[in-house]
Amino acid sequence: MIAIVLFGKPGAGKGTQAEFLKEKYNLTHISTGDVFRFNIKNETELGKKAQEFINKGELVPDSITIDMLKKEVEKNMDKAGFLFDGFPRTIAQAEALDAFLQSINLQVTATVALEADDEVLVQRILERGKTSGRADDQDETKIRTRYEEYNEKTAPLIEYYKNQNKYYAVNGIGSIAEITDRLSTVIDRF
């Protein structure tokens, strides 16, 4: 069983790529964004708490995120592995993920990062916002706040995973098929 962390800034294409990769490798795709939206839409207690932070363009606290994640992993143990999309976002979350996976005899296999220029990503998100209906995709100020949060809290994960020899950068600019091929080249090593 493998556990791949799909890493990258908002708008880098993690969700799009995850759809292809989950089918190709029989992985359970766990998107924290999708998990958050499900909990928010169904007005769960965790969903209500998460929405308060999302509305401000801030990261959802670790305790909420980790509780949602554990439930998703535990109900999907019948696949070849997991594809984590949008998690972990901080060193503390990475450590919590490591501890949780170890408790079920797994570990992060690799962290694959989609890299792209901020300005390209802002435009992608604004374009997505025209059809997604997501308020956080329609406000450039909130998008840039998300990037500030990313640079401050998430970028340190690059070193965290490099120190474990589990970090692989992939060019996130190009056609969907080209990017999928680049990601597959990394994942096929495992």
Q: Binding site annotation covers 133?
A: no
Q: Does residue 28 carry a pLDDT above 80? A: yes
pLDDT (tens digit per residue) in 59-97: 778 888 888 888 889 889 988 999 999 889 889 999 999
**Interior CA angle at 33 toward 19 and 13, to 5°?**
45
Burial of 138 (C-beta count, 10 Å sphere; 0-12/13-18/19+) = middle
- The residue among 14, 19, 29, 15 whose CA lies nearest residue 79 is 29
pLDDT, mean of residues 148-166 = 90
86 has binding-site annotation: yes
Looking at residues 18-44, what average pLDDT do you find? 90
This prediction's pTM: 0.82
pLDDT tens for residues 99-110? 999 999 999 999
* Residue 189, both tokens: 């090593």
Please list the active-site residues: 14, 89, 128, 134, 146
How many Cα atoms sit within 13 Å of 16 on the Cβ side? 18
- Residue 11: closest CA among 145, 125, 133: 125
For the segment(s) 2-184, the CATH number from 3.30.365.10, 3.40.630.180, 3.40.190.10, 3.40.50.300 is 3.40.50.300
Domain residue limits, the chain? 2-184
DSSP three-state, residue 110? strand
Q: Is 59 annotated as a binding residue?
A: yes
C-alpha separations of 132 from 66, 67, 136 in Å:
25, 26, 10
